[in-house]
Structure 1
């Protein structure tokens, strides 16, 4: 059993380790080691196309994370309060997590085209909100499963209004889960390619970092691409690690 697990992990992580290692390769060949160097990370800072794509990715990720976190938190509270009225609504909300990305991308493209919406960063952001909403909702709902609703009743007994109770009682308790959902949404938005590709429209003004990487690897993998992939991987790993730690902290004993 340990041998099988080891082989699975090796199959998953050895290619990633090779990419990270070759990003520090001094030579121009992407597969032949000639010495340690960080020159390719410096090359990234001099590449205007990559910097422009990184800026677009940051704009889309931050905007979609903010909107999906607010809506996802409110949605989780609403679904939890309606939990005795069936699971049809819950299944509908979590559908974007199950539907293949290509199907969701085509559906969103058709929707924007039907409304005659000009494609750009705003359509990518809206598409990512739809995609991230279910993930934020699921993380916050996991915390709500162990939420002690008696503290809400105690707040009401002490004369607090519903708004005051939400901001002074419910929100602080759920804050770790909300932040974990936000970090997960940010990570998914930074890494997402298919939906962004379908909803970006024509031109390079709305190209994101994954789309830029895709356009670069069509001409072959270079050490510069390895360095860029390593940076994206590092950001994703850090955000996911923080998200998981906050998710564990959000488990509230009843």
Structure 2
């Protein structure tokens, strides 16, 4: 009897938790198809808001900027994070534990502090704020995710396999290409996909380092909210959710294949 009661409470808790997490998202998606211009009353189904977004040049420019920033920051994070993880795996040096600790700082530090710090840094360099500063800023907090995931993948690697390959005449590049890279590839892809999603979603840091002509889609949504919630905003959020889900599905499918 007690077991059934505990099981029922556990199921009820899980249901409430999922409702709390996903009902707000579902409401946004549903109301992006509501024909009503304002208000919470449902007046009918329509896809006109999505077509209006596709005709809005400001939204399309913001989308293009978001994808550009996310792509290049992900590329930088994947390359730098992978090289860093492999280097920390292969070499032992003083301060390695301290560097491990530093990896978590961009993850745990409040984004507003990081944004102000990056803005001050670029201002000291007299850098022009725009896509370049956003790419570097986004890469800064994305690199640790890739590095940590690749490090975790390498943690259980048997180094004797690498030694055996070298004994058979393989050079360092061949060992990396044929042994290490296939091993860490799923982690690199997962870290890159996560980095892409985080960069695409960022508002706080980009608001400090974006230029006047480099508005991202989240910044566009934030500026639109000043005039109140509208179906266009719901439609934009739905599109961003769709992109995030596609990234997640691709990442999971690659990992499952490996």
TM-score relative to the length of structure 1: 0.91
Q: In terms of mean alpha carbon deviation, does 109-118 or 145-154 score higher? A: 145-154
Which of 221, 234, 237 aligns to 1:226? It is 234
Q: CA 1:172–1:61 in 2, change beyond 3 Å: closer, same or farther? A: same
Tell me the C-alpha RMSD between the 2 structures: 1.8
Task: Identify the residue that residue 215 of structure 1 maps to in structure 2.
Answer: 223
For 2:246 and 2:173, the matched residues in 1 are separated by 34
**Bigger Rg, which one:** 2
Contact 1:177 1:246 in 2 (8 A): no
Comparing 144-153 with 227-236, which one deviates more in the overlay? 144-153
Q: Which residue of 2 aligns with 1:236?
A: 244
Alignment check: 8 A CA contact 1:29 1:222 kept: yes
CA–CA separation in structure 1 for the residues paired with 2:62 and 2:92: 42
Contact 1:22 1:30 in 2 (8 A): no
Distance across 2 between alignment mates of 1:236 and 1:42: 20
Contact residue 80 and residue 144 of structure 1 kept, 8 A? yes
Distance 1:249 1:149 in 2: 24
Contact 1:180 1:242 in 2 (8 A): no
Segments of 5+ residues of structure 2 without an aligned counterpart are 1-9
Residue number among 170, 180, 190 corresponding to 2:200 in the alignment: 190
CA distance in 2, matches of 1:149, 1:76: 15
Partner of 1:130: 140
Per-residue deviation at 1:101?
0.7
Structure 1: gaps spanning 5 or more residues: none
CA distance in 2, matches of 1:78, 1:45: 45
- 4+ runs of 1 displaced by more than 4 Å? 82-86, 244-250
Would you say the 8 A contact 1:79–1:90 is kept in 2?
no
Per the normalisation by structure 2, the TM-score is 0.90
TM-aligned CA deviation for residue 12 of structure 1: 1.8
Contact 1:176 1:249 survives alignment (8 Å)? no
CA change 1:223–1:113 in 2 (3 A) is: same
SS in 2 for 1:170: helix
